[in-house]
């Protein structure tokens, strides 16, 4: 069995680690010069819409998946002619465009923040009159880590806002004064079986995820079960196969869906240590037609800290008794496998705002002194 993966970043790498553990080979497609996923599989280095590269990938693989949702429609269609692409086109089409996504969510009974479609300064002015300020202008396509967004505080700034997003088709969304953010990951198999992980609480700064925690502190049982029900309903409505992530804004018992990702997700990295079966393994199990593994927790408490812009110092990690994973995602022999903390380095060249690794802490109940000390050595995990 060979699994083709579009995208060779850290998500591709962690998918490859899980696949290799299950005895599945991976072939990646990615145009970059160097990729984290090169550690775990062969790669075709070409653009995602290169017809020869797509033909080669389809020929070499039994099934294709992806680490990002912006797979070009032409690529998905050409692959799908000869090999299953999972999750399928429904999931991609819905999650690639924020307007399509929001309308889909409403049609399936999932509440979302108030929004309006915006195409130019005139439609933005009209939208501001209805939505009010503050509001966020978001491009319909292509955004990630808060890119392609403009916070509109003053209706007079409409024309600046349109310039800031280069006049691309967009939506204007009300700024929600939520209590907290959470995500729910679900996985759905080829046979329609679904499993969900417990909701995860997420802390963002400047549009970038910094820290995730499970069980999610501050999430009421009602809000938690509403989010899990919504996520499972969405996966079923999309006829999704694989992991699906739904991000939510939570205020008391009320939940509003922010966005979908038809894939494994940064907020689910803690499942590697925290859960019986992690998001990567269950995604690979689902897309290759295998039975899904249990999603139950193995620990009382898990926290993940993103390293952004730079890596923590290896010496500081060693002194704090943090284990590190090797190229195959295995806790290195020099680390203590029983340790409560593991650092996953992505072997990427540091760059401003770039995610270069993550550190996961698991325990029955994590001592805040311990998590604060570790957070202080992970660049980007704490924002003043
Ligand atoms: P990613 O793909 O990295 O999750 P993104 O660029 O697709 O991010 P969003 O998820 O839409 O963008 O927004 C990023 C973050 O900005 C959110 O997690 C939240 O913290 C904040 N944000 C976005 N929309 C709103 C909103 N309507 N009200 C309040 N905060 C918001
Ligand atoms: Mg998001």
Answer yes or no: are the C-beta atoms of 148 and 259 closer than 8 Å: no
Residue 335 C-alpha to ligand 2 middle, in angstroms?
A: 33
Three-state SS sequence of 308-377: ECCCCCHHHHHHCCCEEECCCCCECCCCCCCCCEEEEECCCCCCCCCEEEEEEEEECCCCHHHHHHHHHC
Q: 263-312 pLDDT, tens per residue?
A: 999 999 999 999 999 999 999 999 999 999 999 999 999 999 999 999 99
Which ligand is in closest contact with the Cα of 135? 1
If asked whether residues 170 and 188 sit together in one domain, one would say no
Give me 14's structure tokens. Answer: 């962690």
Same domain for 257 and 305: yes
Are 162 and 205 part of one and the same domain?
Answer: no
Which domain-ending residue is among 134, 156, 174? Answer: 174
Taking CA atoms only, the protein residue closest to ligand 1 atom 19 is: 207
Residue keyed to tokens 């812009």: 309
Rounded to whole angstroms, how far apart are CA atoms 132 and 307?
A: 36
Confidence of residue 339 (pLDDT cuts 50, 70, 90): low
Q: Is residue 233 located within the same domain as residue 140?
A: no
Query: Within this chain, do residues 73 and 184 fall inside the same structural domain, yes or no?
Result: no
Q: Which ligand sits closest to the CA of 95?
A: 1
- Give the model's pLDDT for residue 143: 83
Q: Ligand 2 centre from 145 Cα, in Å?
A: 7
Residues 291 and 332 in one domain: yes
CATH of the domain at 155: 3.30.1490.20
With the most atoms of ligand 1 within 8 angstroms of its CB, the residue from 146, 152, 206 to mutate is 146
Is 336 within a domain?
yes
User: Residue 337: pLDDT above 60?
Assistant: no
Ligand 1 pocket mutation pick from 97, 207, 264 by most atoms within 8 angstroms of CB: 207
Residue 334 confidence (pLDDT) above 80: no
Q: Residue 37 gets which letter from DSSP?
A: G
Per DSSP, helices labelled H in the chain are 10-21, 51-60, 73-80, 89-96, 98-107, 121-131, 158-164, 221-237, 271-274, 279-287, 314-319, 368-376
Instruction: Clarify whether residues 201 and 127 are in a common domain.
Output: no
Atom 22 in ligand 1: residue holding the nearest Cα: 207
Local confidence band at 327 (pLDDT 50, 70, 90 cut-offs): very high
pLDDT attached to residue 72: 95
161 and 74 in one domain? no
Give a yes or no: residue 332 inside a domain: yes
Residue 94 lies in a domain: no
Q: What pLDDT, on the 0 to 100 scale, is given for residue 325? A: 94
Band (pLDDT 50/70/90 cuts) for residue 333 is low
> Residues whose CB is under 5 A from ligand 2 (ion)?
247, 259
291 and 368: one domain? yes
Going from the Cα of 113 to the center of ligand 1, the distance in angstroms, rounded, reads 11
Range of the domain at 55: 2-85
- pLDDT(34) > 70: yes
User: Domain total for the chain?
Assistant: 3
Whether 184 and 255 map to the same domain: the answer is yes
Q: State the closest ligand 1 atom to the C-alpha of 113, by its place in the atom list counted from 1.
A: 27
pTM: 0.96
Is residue 105 in some structural domain?
no
pLDDT of residue 296: 98
Do 162 and 203 reside in the same domain of the chain? no
| Whether residue 195 has pLDDT greater than 80 | yes
What would the mean pLDDT of 367-378 be, rounded to a whole number? 96
Residue where one domain finishes, among candidates 174, 200, 225: 174
Q: Using CA atoms, how far apart are residues 213 and 201, in angstroms rounded to an integer?
A: 5
Residue with the smallest CA separation from ligand 1 atom 16 is: 207
Q: Residue 382: what pLDDT?
A: 83
Average pLDDT over the chain, rounded to an integer: 96
Residue 99 within any structural domain of the chain:
no
- CB within 8 A of 206, min separation 6: which ones? 146, 353, 383
* Residue with the two structure tokens 């003043």: 384
Shared domain check, 326 and 263: yes
């Amino acid at each position: 069995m060979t699994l083709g993966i579009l995208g060779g970043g850290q998500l591709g790498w962690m998918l490859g680690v899980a696949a290799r553990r299950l005895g599945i080979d991976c072939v990646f497609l990615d145009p970059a010069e160097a990729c984290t996923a090169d550690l775990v599989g062969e790669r075709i280095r070409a653009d995602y819409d290169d017809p020869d590269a797509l033909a080669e990938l389809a020929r070499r693989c039994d099934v294709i998946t992806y680490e990002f949702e912006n797979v070009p429609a032409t690529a998905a269609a050409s692959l799908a002619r000869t090999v299953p692409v999972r999750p399928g086109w429904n999931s991609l089409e819905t999650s690639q465009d924020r307007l399509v996504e929001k309308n889909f969510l409403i049609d399936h009974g999932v509440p979302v923040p108030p929004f309006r479609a915006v195409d130019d300064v005139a439609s933005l002015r009209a939208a501001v009159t209805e939505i009010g300020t503050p509001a966020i202008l978001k491009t319909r396509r292509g955004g990630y880590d808060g890119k392609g967004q403009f916070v509109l505080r003053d209706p007079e700034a409409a024309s600046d806002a349109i310039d800031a997003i280069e006049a691309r088709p967009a939506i204007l969304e009300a700024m929600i004064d939520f209590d907290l953010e959470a995500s729910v990951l679900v996985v759905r198999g080829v046979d329609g079986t679904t499993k969900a992980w417990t909701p995860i609480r997420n802390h963002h700064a400047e549009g970038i995820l910094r820290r995730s925690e499970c069980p999610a502190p501050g999430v009421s049982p009602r809000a938690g079960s509403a989010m899990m029900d919504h996520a499972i309903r969405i996966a079923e409505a999309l006829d999704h196969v694989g992991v699906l992530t739904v991000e939510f804004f939570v205020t008391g018992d009320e939940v509003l869906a922010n966005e979908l990702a038809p894939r494994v997700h940064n907020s689910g990295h803690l499942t590697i240590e925290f859960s019986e079966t992690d998001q990567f393994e269950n995604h690979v199990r689902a897309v290759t037609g295998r039975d899904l593994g249990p999603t139950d927790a193995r620990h009382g408490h898990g926290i993940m800290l993103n390293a952004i812009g730079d890596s923590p110092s290896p010496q500081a990690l060693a002194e704090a008794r943090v284990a590190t994973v090797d190229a195959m995602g295995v806790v290195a022999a020099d680390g203590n496998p029983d340790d409560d903390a593991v650092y996953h380095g992505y072997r990427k060249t540091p760059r401003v705002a770039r995610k270069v690794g993550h550190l996961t802490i698991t325990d029955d109940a994590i001592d805040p002194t311990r998590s604060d000390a570790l957070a202080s050595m992970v660049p980007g995990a704490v924002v003043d």
